[in-house]
Chain A
């Protein structure tokens, strides 16, 4: 997996992940609050296994991993897959530390990440899959501009029962309609190319 570089939000920053983050990733993957809300990225494991995973993922050119910081503290991570033909992105994991839920970090980091996808990488669309009962994630996704294109029934199993999955997509046109004021860089100066 490729390692993602810096993307600045207002209260959060997506940044290059480092090995020191892995111990905290491991703790989150072992947290039942996380596991009920999301699919795990990897199962909890010993440090050497996480280091191997980190080496493996760093080599992959189509998947990208970012760590998410807020106030100089690691508060989450994101993992996405850039389509083979390069024009779309599947946001496969987007995780905020459960102890930091309801601080607005998810909304802020998600907006920054999508600004990067549409305003910087110029992708055509982004997709994500969410559990139907993950109200907080759905609220963030819908506010960004995601729309449901499929509803899978009894897809995920946890806490003794199945839960449905919603598959959502967001097009570049939606980004432009809702968020055109969000830009990575200001417009080029009129004389910039003279």
Chain B
């Protein structure tokens, strides 16, 4: 399903995705500048597949997804996936598709909005994720919203002559920073 509009700070808003937003994903995901910690940079990257994915995500009751908007422009996506409504647990993820906007705090604000929504509106018990250990920006964004390290998966993938570890985090309502 798609998440509702969540107004944030500094021009960041989480908005319900549209098909036009989903059509941007392949171009974002295949740029080397944003893909260092992402997938293999190949796949079924057609517009038809994006339309199917858009419909599937919208109908799926075990995930909630948003487009990240910065100054009214779509710049990435975030969500909580594989939600188990009995355990009240889900796996979170975020992708900023514009390398020229890195370092502006967009991910931090998006993760804060997403996590706040998880506790205050979805009544989840726990959210967890995997982040490349060397992706300091993403890791810090999640830590600021209350994620704590629960493990480290060594030598997860190998790129440009180096092994990359992955950081495993988990967050709970009681680890969310006081927003007063």
A and B form one complex = yes
CB<8 Å pairs between A and B, sample of 18: A149-B151, A149-B153, A149-B154, A149-B168, A151-B150, A151-B151, A152-B126, A152-B151, A152-B168, A152-B170, A153-B150, A154-B125, A154-B172, A156-B87, A157-B87, A157-B125, A162-B125, A167-B151
0/1 interface trace, chain A 137-174, chain B, CB 8 Å (1 if under): 00000000000111111111100001000010100000
Assess whether A194 is interfacial by the CB under 8 Å rule: no
In chain A, what residue has the closest Cβ to B86? A157
Chain B contacts with A in 133-180, Cβ cutoff 8 A: 150-154, 157, 168, 170, 172
Tell me, yes or no, whether A84 is within 8 Å of chain B by CB. Answer: yes
Q: Least Cβ distance of A53 to chain B in Å?
A: 17
How far in angstroms is the closest Cβ of chain B from A190?
Answer: 36
Within 8 Å CB of B153, what residues of A? 149-150, 169
Give the 9 A-B CB pairs with smallest separation, nearest first: A150-B151, A150-B168, A157-B87, A149-B151, A150-B150, A149-B153, A152-B150, A151-B150, A152-B170
* Complex-state Cα separation, A58 to B40, whole angstroms: 25
- Contact between A167 and B168 (Cβ–Cβ < 8 Å)? yes
Closest CB in chain B relative to A2 CB, distance in Å: 19
Given the complex of chains A and B, what is the CA–CA distance between A154 and B89 in angstroms?
9
Smallest CB gap from A84: residue in B:
B40
| 15 new A-B contacts at CB < 8 Å, known A150-B153, A154-B172 | A85-B40, A85-B157, A149-B153, A149-B168, A150-B151, A152-B128, A152-B150, A153-B172, A155-B87, A155-B89, A156-B87, A157-B87, A157-B125, A167-B151, A167-B168
Q: Which applies to chain A's interface (DSSP): helix, strand, loop or mixed?
A: strand
Residues on B with beta carbons closer than 8 Å to the beta carbon of A151: 150-151
Complex-state Cα separation, A127 to B168, whole angstroms:
14
CA distance A157 to B126 in the complex (A): 12
Inter-chain CA distance A84–B42, complex, in Å, is 11
CA distance A155 to B88 in the complex (A): 9
Q: Closest Cβ of chain A: how far from B51's Cβ, in Å?
A: 22
- Per the bound structure, the CA–CA distance linking A153 and B147 in Å amounts to 12
B32 to chain A, nearest CB (A): 18
- The distance from the CB of A126 to the nearest CB of chain B, in whole angstroms, is 13
What is the distance, in angstroms, from B28's C-beta to the closest C-beta of chain A? Answer: 19
Q: Which residues of B contact A148 (CB under 8 A)?
A: 151
A131 smallest CB distance to B (angstroms)? 12
For A152, list chain B residues within 8 Å (CB): 126, 128, 150-151, 168, 170
Contact check, A150 vs B152: say whether CB atoms are below 8 A apart.
yes
